[in-house]
């Protein structure tokens, strides 16, 4: 009865040449490769990105029973032609099933979809779920379209109607020389992107319209959202720009959202638990990437303020509910 980790990623170690400008993998050694975008080195990955045995050994070491295995966002391809993006989704989704197949009771695959085209996204979601995927990971925006975009809302409603959990991951953190230093896109861009997505979900009235069956989880503790909910709430009550955007004040909706626990300090975890409720937090690690947490769930184990019941919920039972 171990931990369930809802935030991990995979990279397959072999995929066909997908064409100009799309990521490709440059083998470095048998156990290491470089994700390339054109001639630019994007990220060095090790075999834990694709080798089930390595992943299972790491899971055993950290007491993880199951992990959700999601795409690495650089492959979403939302800026490509929809037909091309649908083909890429199919290839990566099928490779994910191969990676997870040696331990299908422990490695839980989440698919990607061509979210720029609602019909294609719904089609690939259905295909992937019927072939063994258990949920979907989406990027937090498609270009300038946020989560309140009509097409994305239709997709979310479709996922809810199929009883498919949705994991939202920040990606595409903008272009500016100011972001080119110090991993700024990861350190400040990702939490801000996720915060903006939750704002769009609430103020765009999505949670008023979409079925409460929608199970949606945001990566990295929901970014900056929990810390700034008070500012958001104040604005909703006092700024005319926000009046009548959502039926209720932002705090009304917190139990419609889940977040993962990869926030590293008990103080930050406490903010999540106090703001959203212990029922809305699940273990995430961002495995196998270096910005992730090892051992998995370390912050949950260190959080002395948690009751035994809340700790068990965060380590496991909330994720069982999320996964359905
Ligand atoms: Co991640």
Write out pLDDT tens, residues 26-44.
889 989 999 988 888 888 9
Segment (H or E) for 106: none
Is-cis flag, bond preceding 209, omega within 30? no
Ligand 1 centroid to residue 248 C-alpha, Å:
31
**pLDDT tens, position by position, 76-129:** 999 999 999 999 999 999 999 999 999 999 999 999 999 999 999 999 999 999
Ligand 1 centroid to residue 244 C-alpha, Å:
34
Long-range contacts of 235-240 (CB under 8 A, 24+ apart): 236/203
> What's the pLDDT at 17?
76
- How confident is the model over 250-276, as a mean pLDDT? 98
E-only strand ranges, 150-272 = 166-169, 216-218, 257-260
Q: Is the pLDDT of residue 151 over 90?
A: yes
Q: Is the pLDDT of residue 243 over 80?
A: no
Ligand 1 centroid to residue 90 C-alpha, Å:
20
CA distance 292 to 189: 16
- How confident is the model over 61-79, as a mean pLDDT? 96
Q: Is the pLDDT of residue 16 over 80?
A: no
- Structural domains in the chain, CATH included, are 3-323 (3.20.20.140)
Contact 192/182 with Cβ under 8 angstroms?
no
Token reading at 301: 């184990």
Q: Which residues surround ligand 1, an ion (CB under 5 A)?
A: 286
Ligand 1 centroid to residue 207 C-alpha, Å:
24
Q: Is the dihedral of CA 318, 98, 190, 184 positive or negative?
A: positive
Ligand 1 centroid to residue 188 C-alpha, Å:
14
**pLDDT tens, position by position, 181-208:** 999 999 999 999 999 999 999 999 999 9
> What's the pLDDT at 268?
98
Ligand 1 centroid to residue 245 C-alpha, Å:
30
> What's the pLDDT at 52?
97
Ligand 1 centroid to residue 195 C-alpha, Å:
15
Ligand 1 centroid to residue 169 C-alpha, Å:
6
Under the banding of pLDDT at 50, 70 and 90, the label for residue 276 is very high
> What's the pLDDT at 37?
85
The radius of gyration of the chain's CA atoms, rounded to the nearest angstrom, is 19
Q: Is the pLDDT of residue 19 over 80?
A: no
Ligand 1 centroid to residue 158 C-alpha, Å:
24
Is-cis flag, bond preceding 314, omega within 30? no
> What's the pLDDT at 23?
85
> What's the pLDDT at 21?
79
> What's the pLDDT at 264?
97
Ligand 1 centroid to residue 234 C-alpha, Å:
31
Ligand 1 centroid to residue 65 C-alpha, Å:
19
Ligand 1 centroid to residue 236 C-alpha, Å:
30
Ligand 1 centroid to residue 286 C-alpha, Å:
5
Mean pLDDT, all residues of the chain: 95
Q: Is the pTM of this model over 0.85?
A: yes
Under the banding of pLDDT at 50, 70 and 90, the label for residue 241 is confident
> What's the pLDDT at 40?
87
> What's the pLDDT at 263?
98
- Where helices occur in the chain by DSSP H, the ranges are 52-62, 82-100, 118-130, 150-161, 184, 190-203, 206-209, 229-238, 266-276, 298-302, 308-312, 318-323
Chain mean position to CA 124 = 18
Q: Is the pLDDT of residue 244 over 80?
A: no
Ligand 1 centroid to residue 9 C-alpha, Å:
6
Ligand 1 centroid to residue 186 C-alpha, Å:
10
Q: Is the dihedral of CA 233, 238, 242, 248 positive or negative?
A: positive
């Amino acid at each position: 009865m171990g931990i369930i980790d809802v935030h991990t990623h995979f990279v397959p170690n072999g995929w066909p040449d997908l064409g100009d400008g799309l990521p490709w993998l440059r083998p470095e050694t048998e156990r290491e490769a470089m994700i390339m975008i054109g001639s630019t080195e994007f990220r060095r990955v090790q075999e834990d990105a694709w080798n089930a045995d390595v992943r299972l050994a790491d899971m055993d070491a950290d007491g993880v029973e199951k992990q959700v295995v999601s795409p690495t966002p650089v492959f979403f391809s939302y800026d490509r032609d929809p037909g091309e993006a649908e083909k890429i989704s199919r290839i990566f989704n099928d490779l994910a099933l191969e990676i997870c197949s040696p331990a299908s009771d422990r490695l839980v695959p989440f698919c990607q979809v061509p979210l720029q085209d609602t019909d294609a996204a719904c089609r690939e979601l259905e295909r992937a779920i019927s072939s063994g995927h258990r949920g979907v990971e989406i990027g937090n925006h498609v270009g300038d379209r946020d989560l309140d975009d009509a097409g994305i809302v239709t997709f979310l409603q479709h996922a809810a109607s199929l009883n498919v959990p949705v994991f939202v991951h920040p990606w595409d953190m903008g272009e500016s020389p100011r972001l080119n230093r110090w991993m700024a896109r990861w350190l400040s861009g990702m939490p801000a992107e996720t915060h903006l997505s939750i704002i769009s979900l609430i103020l765009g009235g999505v949670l008023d319209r979409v079925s409460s069956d929608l199970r949606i989880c945001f990566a990295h503790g929901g970014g900056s959202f929990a810390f700034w909910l008070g500012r958001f709430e104040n604005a909703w009550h006092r700024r005319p720009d926000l009046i009548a955007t959502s039926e209720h004040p932002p705090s009304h909706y917190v139990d419609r959202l889940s977040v993962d626990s990869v926030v590293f300090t008990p103080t930050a975890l406490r903010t999540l638990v106090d703001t959203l409720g212990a029922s809305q937090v699940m273990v995430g690690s961002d495995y196998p990437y270096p910005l992730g947490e090892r051992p998995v769930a370390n912050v949950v184990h260190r959080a002395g303020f948690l009751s035994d019941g809340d700790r068990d919920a965060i380590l496991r039972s909330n994720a069982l509910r999320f996964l359905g």
